[in-house]
Amino acid sequence: MSSQSPTDRGRAPRVWFITGASTGFGRALTEAVLAAGDCAAATARDPDAIGDLGRGATTRVRTIELDVTDRARAREAVEEAVETFGRIDVLVNNAGFGLLGALEELSEEQLRSQFETNVFGVLNVTRAVLPQLRRQRSGHIVQMSSVGGVRANPGHSIYAATKFAVEGMSEGLAQEVSHLGIRVTLVEPGPFRTDFAGRSMTYAEPIDDYAEIVDPMRERFRKMDGTQAGDPKLAAAAIIKAVGDPDPPLRLALGRHALTTIRSQLEGRLRELDTWETVGAGTDYT
């Protein structure tokens, strides 16, 4: 990344509002935007976990306590950011967690908690920021999705459901707000060296009948923790590059694994569409 600040490159610093800034992508991105000379409203459930982010950039960072499942608090956090910086240029909905277990293995509490954070948390913050972006007639919403938002794996049915929901919502939202100068980008990472496979992963209570299907996934995630190929700092740089592009992508796949997996999934869907085209086409009135 260039050592020049945004001001040096002829533009005013952007203001980023980032959820889940204590670890992983959220922390890497917050550190990267500050290093680039931008401003950040960094949020987390535990404000002590992000207190160090302000060191050396005290006028360009505001740390804010935020549990994204609290709709009222989301509005308050956005107001705090606007009071501090006067605007919000980029929202990054990063807060979320993983959940591994077959559909039947999951408890009702686990299922609902996953949706409350990964879907309704995204909705809470997005809806809180949109009035500000509309007033500005500008802004960029970055939704941290996943390769799991394109292809579901066994043991990840509900996690994938939350990411598929964010993908559909964001694709529609992008069309609703483009005329207002607001852009939307879905980021679809593969395995990156964050806490996702470790501290941020929740596991269901196993049922023996699913062991041969789900146990390999459990073992895979436990083994990959700390050895993933993806570098969060390089992911942060890629996101900043996409946000700065005059024609940003709706979807940005990160990492070779994501690119290979998503391409294979889309090609497979096209083959299936072609195979069943005659049957599907034959259901229209003639």
Q: Report, as residue numbers or ranges, the catalytic residues.
A: 145, 159, 163
The residue to which tokens 């690119």 are assigned: 259
Least Cα distance to 50 among 16, 92, 78, 18 occurs for 18
Structural Rg of the chain based on CA atoms:
20
How far is 247 from 31, CA to CA, in rounded Å?
25
CATH code for the part of the protein at 15-281: 3.40.50.720
Average pLDDT over all residues of the chain: 91
- pTM listed for this prediction: 0.91
Q: What does the pLDDT look like over 21-66, one tens digit per residue?
A: 998 899 999 999 999 999 999 999 998 889 888 676 578 999 999 9
Where in the chain are the domains?
Answer: 15-281
pLDDT above 60 (res 9): no
pLDDT-derived band at 196, boundaries 50, 70, 90: low
Q: What does the pLDDT look like over 242-259, one tens digit per residue?
A: 999 999 999 999 999 999
Q: Got the DSSP string for 2-15?
A: -SS-TTTTTSPPPE
State CA 224 to chain mean position distance: 20
